[in-house]
């Protein structure tokens, strides 16, 4: 008898962030690499990129309802080139960390706009968002700099997301 081959499903990741953080640019970069796909049970098209499915939402979307769509990890996009907006980013971060249907999922903070001069170091973003004190328990988290425009750093972000949901 032959061994059964298991087809591992690509993890499905919810991407959240303020206006101007780079979500639209990231979606456009992903569209260039692959076409968005519709998946049963998801309210919006998913973008398959490097073995990870991404769905984009914005503040004001009902995270509780969206969260019931079966996500395996979260990404918070922040503008790493504008430290003055980190206070604003704390609200969506709190929402991600306290919404029942997605609470405790692995979280990746993507410090976007790494391609611009004067961008913040990930340590500054981590401190500004108070990640070490806001994330409690055994929730896995990671912070990475990236550029949604050039694609820099997206491969390592995807690799971490895949390893975090294994």
Q: Which residue has the higher pLDDT, 162 or 10?
A: 162
What's this model's pTM, rounded to 2 decimal places? 0.85
In whole angstroms, what is the distance from residue 129 CA to residue 156 CA?
Answer: 21
Question: Per residue in 8-57, pLDDT tens?
Answer: 577 889 898 888 999 989 988 888 776 555 444 555 667 788 888 888 87
The band of 106, judged by pLDDT with boundaries at 50, 70 and 90, is very high
Q: What is the H or E stretch that residue 54 is in? A: strand 52-57
């Amino acid at each position: 008898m032959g061994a059964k081959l298991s087809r591992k499903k690509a993890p499905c990741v919810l991407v959240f962030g303020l206006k101007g953080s780079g979500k639209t640019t990231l979606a456009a970069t992903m569209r260039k690499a692959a076409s968005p796909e519709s998946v049963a049970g998801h309210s919006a098209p998913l973008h398959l990129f490097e073995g990870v499915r991404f769905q984009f939402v914005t503040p004001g979307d009902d995270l509780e309802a969206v969260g019931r769509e079966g996500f395996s990890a979260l990404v918070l996009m922040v503008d790493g080139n504008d430290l003055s907006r980190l206070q604003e980013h704390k609200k969506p971060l709190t929402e991600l960390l306290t919404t029942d249907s997605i609470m405790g999922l692995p979280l990746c903070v993507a410090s976007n706009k790494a391609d611009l001069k004067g961008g913040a170091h990930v340590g500054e973003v981590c401190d500004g968002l108070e990640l070490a004190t806001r994330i409690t328990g055994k929730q896995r988290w990671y912070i990475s700099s990236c550029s949604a425009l050039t694609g820099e750093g997206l491969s390592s972000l995807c690799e971490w997301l895949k390893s975090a949901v294994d």
